[in-house]
Chain A
């Protein structure tokens, strides 16, 4: 149980294009989803917290107009990297959790984004 599917697993695109990444909880309803960015040999950096039906809460230093998050249902959240540039190249990972104290996060397998 508690499977999170993230798609696509990797994407290469030209500078200036927008890229959408989907995160789905397959067998549970996720009241909260998180989006992380991870650089090589570094920890997970939280970008934003997303609750179903409400606006995402972005961490300090993360541009909300650059990284658009939509959490339209209890099983789907999307991250759109708008007008992507080479410095946006990274490993993006989503996670989902159910309501309740101390619940663990269930992670997708990440999206490797390369901007040329």
Chain B
């Protein structure tokens, strides 16, 4: 079953912050975050494994709440280059099928000057 992402779309001014959520009805083993710009391939951002781990690089970070079966992606001091569609991919269960990701519908992020 696919994860649910929210919001569906968000518009920011450069320098503002945003949070994108990814929720699952099933117990999650891992959550993967990707960004896709228009006309391009999805690009990997980060993986979070169960255990409540928080990861980040530069001004993009994410958390994974195993109890809530939810992950959140945090974008701080947004830049124009952050524009794109953000997807979460979830891996359920005990991690045995570590190749199968189910993706959410995506969140369209637009950063304006």
A binds B: no
The chain B residues found within 8 Å of chain A, CB to CB, are none
